[in-house]
Amino acid sequence: MTRQLLLLALLAAAPAVAWSAVDCAVEIHGTDQMTFDKAEITVPKACTSFTVTLAHPGQMPKNVMGHNWVLSTQADMQGVLDDGLKAGEAQDYVKPGDTRVLAHTRLIGGGETDSVTLDTRSLKAGTAYSFYCSFPFHSTLMKGTLALGS
């Protein structure tokens, strides 16, 4: 009888464990064709931190077809891009210390990956966030939206 009660207890607990799992990470690919494979990212509200892993499955080097993943509000995007262009490749096309940048990876070339983890407490519901590649002119095609889930 004890074995049966233990089995019932385990079965009763299993759905709770399965439902409590929240994925607080995403992988996004930036390609040699100057595209991201995702246009939207939703951060679950239950996550206190969220990790974005950028992978570049292409073969071109970063000085030719480099990509990064930059997050800011939609309103700040153009200013971040303008200042990133001035910062140049040595700074991964992100102005050092730019407080408008909520998170960013380093600039990577083909075959490389990089990750960044952001504190989700910096995100506010209802705010329009954009992610993009700040390599010159890539953001025209390589951009998307990030939202805090409900």
Instruction: State which CATH number among 2.60.40.420, 1.10.10.60, 3.40.720.10, 3.30.479.30 fits the domain covering 23-148.
Output: 2.60.40.420
Q: Is the pLDDT of residue 9 over 70?
A: no
For 111: left if phi > 0, alpha if psi spans -120 to 50, otherwise beta; the answer is: left
- Residue 10 has a pLDDT of 40
- Residue 7 has a pLDDT of 39
φ, ψ (nearest 5 deg) of residue 2: -60, -40
Q: Is the pLDDT of residue 21 over 80?
A: no
Q: How confident is the model at residue 3 (pLDDT cuts 50, 70, 90)?
A: low
Domain range list for the chain: 23-148
> pLDDT (tens digit, 9 = 90+) per residue, 107-120?
999 999 999 999 99
Q: For residue 133, how many C-alpha atoms fall within 13 Å in the half-sphere facing its CB?
A: 32
pTM: predicted TM-score of the whole model, two decimal places: 0.85
